[in-house]
Amino acid sequence: PGHRPYACVHPNPAAGKHLLLACCSWTSAPAVNNLLYLLVSLQGYLPANAERRESTLQRKRQEYFGFIEQYYDSRNDEHHQDTYRQIHIDIPRTNPLIPLFQQASVQEIFERILFIWAIRHPASGYVQGINDLVTPFFVVYVFEYIEEEVENFNVSSLQEEVLRNIEADSFWCMSKLLDGIQDNYTFAQPGIQRKVKALEELVSRIDETVHRHMQQYEVEYLQFAFRWMNNLLMRELPLRCTIRLWDTYQAEPEGFSHFHLYVCAAFLVRWRKEILEEKDFQGLMILLQNLPTMHWGNEEVSVLLAEAYRLKFAFADAPNHYKR
């Protein structure tokens, strides 16, 4: 990680063929420009027709700042103040070890993005965890304009118009992502409940030993995998790995809502040896909530994705294979 560019191969559903994408060394701006294309094009933010992209970008950016003018002053109104207060509390907790996200101007951008999204989606409103989901898009868009390490970059050196464009584009991409998984965040979070249950059923089939070991020590999947679903593994992986993972999710039909299940199953079984070495509830929970991925990079994520694809091809078309 840091200076090593990597290549990832995955299907492009729009083209119906494989797209070879060199992407995401932290110091390779052209590589991230390629990733930027995926983030916006496969995300559905920009039209496929290149001639319409610039006008669409301008229209969507204007629309976002229209929302700001229309709604943002209401953040302290009685009806919205609880939402804004929770966002305001959560923002400093977002990637607390990365200086980029501790800058006041970045935190203000995130507050606006999250508040506008919340009041435009009253069925769910703001839920803790959504604050994490804007960060990969923001990082990729910032990276387009710099030639240095992004984690320590001071955004005040960017032109105001550039920063406004980054804010608007991050909002729309996060919104598009959440459109596909909004039932994760509605009342009682039914989407997450279903996905955690599906994960339990899948793991019981692919590695019964691990499944029974956790049952033996009364570890409930919801106790550790709720966060995996709620935050799309962002709390479990370094940010560079999240961007690599999401790159594949973008290119996979229902990547965030469906393929993520198989990634989580592969991720759990990846720690089989460590899980089986723990012989009590406390030890298992400490392990599962603090998995040692700090030094993970492209190689580890690629292996994880390969195993997730294997599981998907084995089980996705025959879901009864993993249902008891």
Domain range spanning residue 142? 30-180
pLDDT score at 318: 63
CA distance 293 to 307: 17
* Tokens representing residue 222 in the block: 């919801």
Of 136, 159, 180, which residue is a domain's last? Answer: 180
| Predicted pLDDT of residue 6 | 28
Residue 2 resides in a domain: no
Within a domain: 324: no
Amino acid identity, residue 168?
A
What pLDDT does residue 146 have?
87
Residue of 250, 249, 225 whose CA lies nearest to 308: 249
Q: Looking at residue 222, which CATH number applies to its domain?
A: 1.10.472.80
Instruction: Name the more confident of 56 and 197.
Output: 197
Q: What is the tens place of the pLDDT at every residue in 281-324?
A: 999 999 999 999 999 999 999 999 999 999 999 987 665 555 55
Residue 141 shares a structural domain with residue 37: yes
- pLDDT, tens digit (0-9, with 9 covering 90-100), for 203-244: 999 999 999 999 999 999 999 999 999 999 999 999 999 999
pTM equals 0.83
The pLDDT of 162-176, averaged and rounded, is: 94
174 plus 41 within the same structural domain: yes
Domain shared by 57 and 154, yes or no? yes
Considering the domain architecture, whether residues 45 and 169 belong to the same structural domain is answered as yes
202/176 same-domain check: no
Q: Answer yes or no: is 15 within a domain.
A: no
* Nearest C-alpha neighbor of 169 from the set 54, 19, 27: 54
Given this model, what pLDDT does residue 174 score?
93
Residue 99 lies in a domain: yes
User: How distant, in Å, are the alpha carbons of 48, 51, 93, 128, 132 from that of 98?
Assistant: 34, 37, 10, 19, 13
Which one has a higher pLDDT value, 26 or 157?
157
Please give the angle made by the CA atoms of 168, 173 and 176, to the nearest 5 degrees. Answer: 125
C-beta separation of 21 from 34 below 8 A: yes
- pLDDT value for 253: 85
Q: Are 127 and 185 in contact (CB under 8 A)?
A: yes
The reply to whether 78 and 128 lie within a common domain is yes
Name the domain count of the chain.
2
Higher pLDDT, 25 or 123: 123
Same domain for 125 and 241, yes or no, is no
Chain centroid to CA 128: 14
pLDDT digits (tens, 9 = 90+) for 62-86: 999 999 999 999 998 988 999 999 9
Q: Are 118 and 87 in contact (CB under 8 A)?
A: yes
- Asked if the model's pLDDT at residue 24 lies above 50, the reply is no
Alpha-helical (H) ranges within the chain are 29-41, 53-71, 81-90, 104-120, 130-133, 135-143, 160-179, 190-206, 208-216, 221-230, 239-251, 260-270, 272-277, 281-289, 298-315
Q: Where among 134, 154, 180 does a domain terminate? A: 180
102, part of any domain: yes
Cβ distance 247 to 21 under 8 Å? yes
* Of 161, 180, 199, the domain-final residue: 180
170 and 41: one domain?
yes
As a whole number, the mean pLDDT across the chain is 85
pLDDT tens digits for range 79-106 = 899 999 999 999 999 999 899 999 999 9
Contact between 162 and 57 (Cβ < 8 Å) = no
| In-domain check, residue 18 | no
Question: Is it the case that residue 57 has pLDDT exceeding 90?
Answer: no
